A and B are shown apart, each in its own frame.
Chain A
Amino acid sequence: MSAISQTLGTLPLDNSHGKDFVFLKARYIVELTGKKARNLQDFVDYLSNAEQSSIFYHIYHPLLDAHLVPYEYPNDFSYWFADTMQDKDLAEQVANIELPESGGLEFVRQSLLTKLNLAIKSGKNYTVPESGQFSFVNCRFVVFPSGQRAKTLDELADNIAQASELSIFYHMVTSRLFKATRYDDFSEWIVNNTTDNELAEEVRRVDPTTHVNVRSIQQEVLQIMVRYLKEKRAGLI
């Protein structure tokens, strides 16, 4: 288990098992590694030894930045393969990286390496100019309570509606990836603190990586909760 997952697992405000759901959020800072890939073999070598935070930053963090025009390729790796290496095939192969059901970021690394090693075996290993090299970075982050808290499903829905993008991203993506858990924090809390397992199952089907920004993830989770609570109040559940 990585130092980061150990820390997240023992945060005093780990919210999946407590009575209240405490909304957290994180702010991120990029740590530079100086490792710069100019060809696919370099890229594979650096990726093999990269910190988990590096994979997180290059693959998932772009969701937080997607405020402008959604890029055709949703993560740093696929964008580099398409834009700099001019390899649309490889770019598409690494564009569609879902959140892993198990194994967290280590699983993501192995999936990527499998695809990239196959590409190398098929003869792909061109070198790009120095100005186009891929710079691997890590990220560090601090976590803090957002000030929101929920005791009931209604309160959870209210607070999700008002939560910031940083908070939604933390509970739907960051926390899950670094704890290497299968599910997001919201559905974990629902399962552990209510009998509404059906709702939890619906929330679990939300895949953040299919969205172009965090607001869109938030809207989907909220719609699921609003519909479920409405049906519950009507006695349909």
Chain B
Amino acid sequence: MMQKNHSLKEYEPVVGAELIDDLKTMAENIDGKSVLHVNSTRSGGGVAEILFRLVPLMNELGLSASWDVIKGDQAFFEATKTFHNALQTGLNLASQRNFDDFERKTNENLHDLKIEGDTIFIHDPQPAGMIAQKRIGTNQRWIWRCHIDVSNPDRNVWSFLARYVNKYDASVFSTPSFARSDLSVPQFMVSPSIDPLADKNKDLPRTYIDRVLSKYGLNSDKPLITQISRFDYAKDPIGVIEAFKLVSKHIDCELVLGGSLADDDPEGAEVHAKVVKAAEGRNDIHILLIPPFSDLEINALQRASAIVVQKSVKEGFGLTVAEALWKSRPVIAGATGGIPLQVKNGLTGYLVHNIEGAAYRMRYLLRNPDVAERLGRNGREHVRQNFLITRHLAEYLLVMLAIRRKEAIPLLMPHPK
């Protein structure tokens, strides 16, 4: 079911009028109003979710924004998934065939997809090769927006990718630790975001939450521990089950591992099967395969949780953490990628480094509901200030200004009210 897009005015009660006015001022001062975003999937995963919201908001600001998706086949997505894993783990995983498949499909996309616009945002490695369409010597600006951790990549894959990235006008990473010292183009930091008005994050009546729990056979009398994420080794779902097993020996609670299988992730089904096997024989562990666009149900599951877990061992940013914090849930999460920006240890949740750490913090929070409540309260404010879509939009506009303006400090003329 398609969701409603919200107008900027509707965000004012959450983020304040000043930011909305500043967005208008910044957008008006950008030379070159057409913006194109390109990625590899329209559904599944954080990037598609953000673009679904961000593009209409850019249009409301007077920009002419659109969103295109490159085409891929099984060989291409196997190659890009291998690249993704190699970039995030540093392991030498990619074969020559992967590189060949990537280049073959990139060439087909270059032929089939015409890139037009003043500012082009290319999201992640999959469409990076589209830079070959850059119009050199014009005002067109290309930005490579990297959502994954490339701080310690496999050298082969990174060298291959960097050849493309160095042709861009700028790159954008989600955290300072992802920045590269071997890129010749400017690198900006823009954290991703959640939409507070979206079905996935808006307030829900308790009656609806109860219905969702009932639908999935969950016992609303027991504390619920939940991890919502793709079925992906990097999210360590097996580790979550192991931690839960340690806790559930002593405390009566339930675990939900819920997630979807994205179009561009051929590994998902394999991970899901292993997770199901790890939970075999346990009626207190619920593995839910949640289709895309089930945002209200995900929202309900997060809100019903006593604790939300994101025990990633590698992470781009981990937006499910921001989603949980926005709902005032205490979060236990792996200290990786963008998670430490969201989970301030002891202030908005707890960072953990292994299964035992996750189990200890689960037990601690279940036994100390006052602490859990304080962390949740702090977490919501932290997200309000730093991880909502309006801040995200403001920073994209700032990047667009920074790469077009020659002055050290551009002075913007105010938006007429």
Q: Is A140 an interface residue (CB 8 A)?
A: yes
Complex interface residues of chain A between 19 and 60 (CB less than 8 A to chain B): 26-36
List the A side residues contacting B26 at CB < 8 Å: 27, 142
**How many residue pairs between the two chains, A and B, have CB atoms under 8 Å in the bound complex?**
107
Are B409 and A137 within 8 A (Cβ)? no
- Interface size counted on chain B using CB atoms at 8 A: 45
B189, B378, B395: the one contacting A69 at CB < 8 Å is B378
Within 8 A of B (CB), among A91-143: 130-131, 133, 135, 137, 140-143
Q: Of all chain A residues, which has the CB nearest B187? A: A32
Q: Which residues of A contact B394 (CB under 8 A)?
A: 27
Taking a contact as CB atoms under 8 Å apart, the answer to whether B411 and A30 are in contact is: no
CA A145 to CA B188, docked complex, whole Å: 25
Q: How far is the CB of B341 from chain A (nearest CB, A)?
A: 11
Q: Mark B185-196, 1 if CB is under 8 A from A, else 0.
A: 011111000000
A22→B269 CA distance, assembly (Å): 60
Contact status B398-A27, CB under 8 Å: yes
Q: Which of B289-337 contact A (CB under 8 A)?
A: 335
Report yes or no: A67 in contact with B398, Cβ–Cβ below 8 A: no
Known: A6-B408, A68-B344, A143-B410. Is A31-B187 also a contact (CB below 8 A)?
yes
Given A34-B183, A164-B18, do A142 and B344 touch, yes or no (CB 8 Å)? no
Q: A5 — nearest CB in chain B belongs to which residue?
A: B408
A136, closest chain B residue (CB):
B176
Chain A: minimal CB distance from B218 (Å): 32
A8 touches B (CB below 8 Å): yes
Which residues does chain B contribute within 8 Å of A28, judged by CB atoms?
A: 398
Point out the residues of chain B lying under 8 angstroms from A131, CB to CB.
Answer: 335
- Chain B residues positioned under 8 Å from A235 (CB to CB): none
Q: What distance in Å separates the Cβ of B6 from its nearest Cβ neighbour in chain A?
A: 22
Q: Which residue of A lies closest to B394 (CB)?
A: A27
Chain A residues positioned under 8 Å from B180 (CB to CB) = 34
Q: What is the 8 Å Cβ interface bit string for chain B, positions 4-36, against chain A (1 contact, 0 not)? A: 000000000000001000100110010000000
Residue of B22, B177, B408 most packed against chain A (CB within 10 A): B408
- Contact between B398 and A140 (Cβ–Cβ < 8 Å)? yes
B204 within 8 A of A: no
From the candidates A11, A68, A143, name the one contacting B382 in the complex (CB within 8 A).
A68
Chain A 128-166 per-residue mask, 1 if CB under 8 angstroms from chain B, else 0: 001101010100111111010000000000000000101
Say which one of B247-255, B277-285, B399-407 lies at the interface with A.
B399-407
Residue numbers in A under 8 Å from B173 (CB-CB): 32
B412 at the interface (CB under 8 A from A): yes
Which residues of A lie under 8 Å from residue B177 when comparing CB positions? 36, 133, 135
Which of A2, A28, A68, A141 counts the most chain B CB atoms within 10 A?
A68
- Interface residue? A212 (CB, 8 A): no
Contact, CB under 8 Å: A68 / B381: yes
Task: Give the nearest-CB partner of B385 in chain A.
Answer: A67
The verdict on A147 contacting B414 (CB below 8 Å), with A27-B394, A34-B179, A67-B385 known, is: yes
CB–CB B179/A32 < 8 A: yes
A28 to B413, CA, bound (A): 16
Tell me if A13 and B382 are in contact (CB < 8 A). Answer: no
- Assess whether B186 is in contact with A31, with CB atoms less than 8 Å apart: yes
Query: How far is B338's CA from A135's CA once the two chains are assembled, in angstroms?
Result: 14
Q: In the complex, are the beta carbons of A7 and B407 less than 8 A apart?
A: yes
Asked if B410 and A34 sit within 8 Å, CB to CB, the answer is no
Which residues of chain B come closer than 8 Å to A69, judged between CB atoms? 347, 378
Report the bound CA distance from A221 to B222 in whole Å.
52
Show 13 A/B contacts (Cβ-Cβ < 8 Å), sorted by A: A27-B398, A29-B402, A31-B186, A31-B402, A32-B173, A32-B188, A67-B381, A67-B385, A133-B177, A142-B29, A143-B409, A144-B411, A144-B412
Q: Which 5 A-B pairs have the closest CB atoms?
A: A135-B176, A32-B179, A34-B181, A29-B398, A30-B189
